Amino acid sequence: MESNSTATKPCFSFCLFLWFSLLVLKANAEVHYHDFVIQVTPVKRLCHTRSIITVNGQFPGPTLLVRNGDSLVVKVVNQAKYNITLHWHGVRQLRNGWADGPSYVTQCPIQPGGTYTYRFTIQSQEGTLWWHAHNTWLRATVYGALIIHPKEHSTYPFATPKREFPVILGEWWNSNPIDVIRQALKTGTSPNSSDALTINAQPGDLLKCSSPETTVFPVGPGETILLRFINAAMLTELFVSIADHQMTVVAVDASYTKPFKTSVIIIGPGQTTDLLIQTNQPAGRYYIAAHAYQSGPPNTPFDNTTTTAIITYNNQITIAKPKLPVLPAYNDTATVAAFTAGLKSPGPIKIPEPVNENLFFTVGLGLFNCPSRKTCSGPNNTRFTASMNNYSFVTPTRQSLLQAAQLGIPGVFTTDFPASPPVKFDYTGNNISQSLYQPIRATKLYPLKYGSVVQLVMQGTNIYASEEHPMHIHGYDFYVLATGKGNFDAKKDTAKFNFVDPVRRNTIGVPVKGWAAIRFVADNPGVWFVHCHIDSHLTWGLAMAFLVENGVGKLQSTIPPPLDLPKC
């Protein structure tokens, strides 16, 4: 009895300390409540007034400011005529796929007149993320920044900035984006390019009817400024530069990086980049400018406008135009490769090993034959499609994948997505057999055991055409081991892997006619979407999903669905 009593004393003290520590931690964390009303709002751009879908009448939508460890409760009321869901891009949503948002993947959409409350906690994440609609093309106007500051009494791992600004890159169509994609699907061709690129929803003063509303960032001399770039564009990867100011990249996708100095950044749809500038130039006004990185075939249409915002010292007002930076050529793949190679983690990383799942996924475009008695406007009377491992993803319509998986509902999906392409071929060659052009339409998931170490090589293909694909994995960050040109060769290219300080991301550009190798631990149970963040490619089926099985006990299992989860 005496020995038991002696043993309980330190346990009691430790447990009391642990309980008190948890109370302190919980007290420091906040719960942020927001009401998001999805509604129609008239907006004027490029001399046109158009009714768009917004959150709370704001374009871009509200910026959400939280700290690492805080929770969010976002009540969404849908007053628009479209179904909608919201995705909190890059938030890991540990065990909580119900808050992830992709339509018919983790939830049925919120129908017109409906309500759903997203509840989730930010866990061990800091930096810049964002939120956006995740069904049809509502993302064109329904998006906003999600900024995660360090915990209270913690600091950035770099010089504390005097000011910080979200810089959201986007696109503007004079017509309704929903009509743009509907017309493309009807004809089988590519959707029309946007009419302008934007910074914080403004085209900038190089375009007509846009000068008075151009986004302006006021600064003072001798300051450190943190700019949080987000690419919310639907179709366009972007080069960005700032006149006469060197940029130091300090984070991507809410993961800190080794400080990396550059005169230009490349940022794909879905990606974020945090950078510092020093206001060490003569007092004046300087353009931030962005234009497209066009990695597709030479004759591919794209938005070739240049969007601008202005950094102004001491709110100077002058009739002189700000200085414009030099941007790379639209097809400058060498600059893209150099920027990607320059991104590293701040220090040595313990890479997860050994690898349990060695996966090889092809990603790219293809063509479907035109249905009988119809005329299609794609190449040779076909219609565009896209696929992974020769399967073009079919989105369910009667039940979400996560609900079907949790409730054991049959007939919604199968779990036989292949670990490698069913047919091996010269993926980036110029003479690919037309028998490979047409993928198989299916809803296939790849199952992963909880805790397994996954190495995934995503290989771009030249089926019909090749271009860079920004690939996003929901529910996960991953280490980028390497990217490269041509067909991946395991014997030769594995030697190029960075096992020391690879950058961590949630969206990675698979280079045009090239590959990207990533690694992560499947420690988040649920159904997690994997897709290209160029929305026309997603619409055409460039997607799949991982089904990560529950582990042992509640802490390794998906939580029960919320009571207000929308019904299909």
SS3 labels along 91-158: CCCCCCHHHCCCECCCECCECCCCEEEEEEECCCCCEEEEEEECCCCHHHCCEEEEEEECCCCCCCCC
What pLDDT is stored for residue 3 in this prediction? 39
User: Residue 467: inside a domain, yes or no?
Assistant: yes
Question: Would strands 237-242 and 265-267 be described as parallel, antiparallel, or unpaired?
Answer: antiparallel
What is the pLDDT, as a whole number, of residue 21? 39
Helix, strand, coil % over all residues of the chain, rounded to 5:
15, 40, 45
Sheet of strand 64-67: strand arrangement: 64-67, 143-149, 127-133, 86-89
- Report pLDDT for 27: 53
Last residue of a domain, which of 345, 378, 407? Answer: 345
pTM passes above 0.75:
yes
Do 365 and 308 fall within a single domain? Answer: no
pLDDT in tens, the chain (568 residues): 333 433 334 443 434 334 433 444 455 899 999 999 999 999 999 999 999 999 999 999 999 999 999 999 999 999 999 999 999 999 999 999 999 999 999 999 999 999 999 999 999 999 999 999 999 999 999 999 999 999 999 999 999 999 999 999 999 999 999 999 999 999 999 999 999 999 999 999 999 999 999 999 999 999 999 999 999 999 999 999 999 999 999 999 999 999 999 999 999 999 999 999 999 999 999 999 999 999 998 889 999 999 999 999 987 776 678 999 999 999 999 999 999 999 999 999 999 999 999 999 999 999 999 987 778 999 889 999 999 999 999 999 999 999 999 999 999 999 999 999 999 999 999 989 988 999 999 999 999 999 999 999 999 999 989 999 999 999 999 999 999 999 999 999 999 999 999 999 999 999 999 999 999 999 999 999 999 999 999 999 999 999 999 999 999 999 999 999 999 9
| Together in a domain, 443 and 484 | yes
**393 contact partners, CB below 8 Å, separation of at least 6:** 387, 442, 443, 444, 531, 541, 542, 543, 544, 545
Whether 482 is covered by a domain: the verdict is yes
Tell whether 270 and 221 lie within a shared domain.
yes
145, 243: one domain: no
Q: Which strand (E) or helix (H) includes residue 311?
A: strand 307-313
Q: Is 231 strand, coil or helix?
A: strand
Bridge partner list, 103: 107
Last residue of a domain, one of 154, 186, 216: 154
Q: According to the model, what pLDDT value does residue 559 have?
A: 97
Nearest one of 240, 426, 201, 255 to 328, comparing CA atoms: 240
Side-chain half-sphere exposure of 500, counting CA atoms within 13 A: 6
Helix (H, G, I), strand (E, B) or coil at 494: helix
**Do both 91 and 186 map to the same domain?**
no
Identify the pLDDT of residue 208.
Answer: 95
Which residue, among 439, 438, 437, 485, has the nearest Cα to 459 in the 3D structure? 485
Instruction: Examine the domain organization and report whether 433 and 326 are in the same domain.
Output: no
Q: Are residues 231 and 285 in the same domain?
A: yes
Q: Give long-range contacts, CB 8 A cutoff, 24+ apart: 212-215.
A: 214/308, 214/309, 214/310, 215/309, 215/310
For residues 301 and 55, what is the distance between their CA atoms, to the nearest angstrom? 31
* Residue whose structure tokens are 């060197």: 246
Q: In this structure, what CATH number is given to the domain that contains residue 385? A: 2.60.40.420
Residues listed for the chain: 568
Both structure tokens of 161:
């900035």
Distance of CA 149 to the CA centre of its chain: 19
Does residue 169 sit in the same domain as residue 311?
A: yes
pLDDT score of 4: 41
Amino acid at 357: E
| Whether 250 and 282 share a structural domain | yes
HSE-CB of 314 using CA atoms within 13 angstroms: 8
Instruction: Say if residue 253 is in the same domain as residue 273.
Output: yes
Residue (of 203, 407, 450, 400) closest to 305 by Cα position: 203
116 and 179 both lie in a single domain: no
CA distance 227 to 167: 7
Q: How far apart are CA 50 and CA 34, in angstroms?
A: 27
- Phi, psi (5° rounding) for residue 496? -85, -5
Task: Answer yes or no: is 480 within a domain.
Answer: yes
Per the CB < 8 A criterion, the answer to whether 439 and 385 are in contact is yes
Residues 245, 184: one domain?
A: yes
Look at residue 290 in the predicted model and tell me its pLDDT. Answer: 98
Residue range of the domain that includes 366: 357-556
Q: Of the candidates 320, 345, 370, which is a domain's last residue?
A: 345
Q: In what order do the strands lie in the sheet with 445-448?
A: 445-448, 543-548, 526-532, 469-473, 507-510
Number of domains in the chain: 3
**Residue for token digits 């749809």?**
269
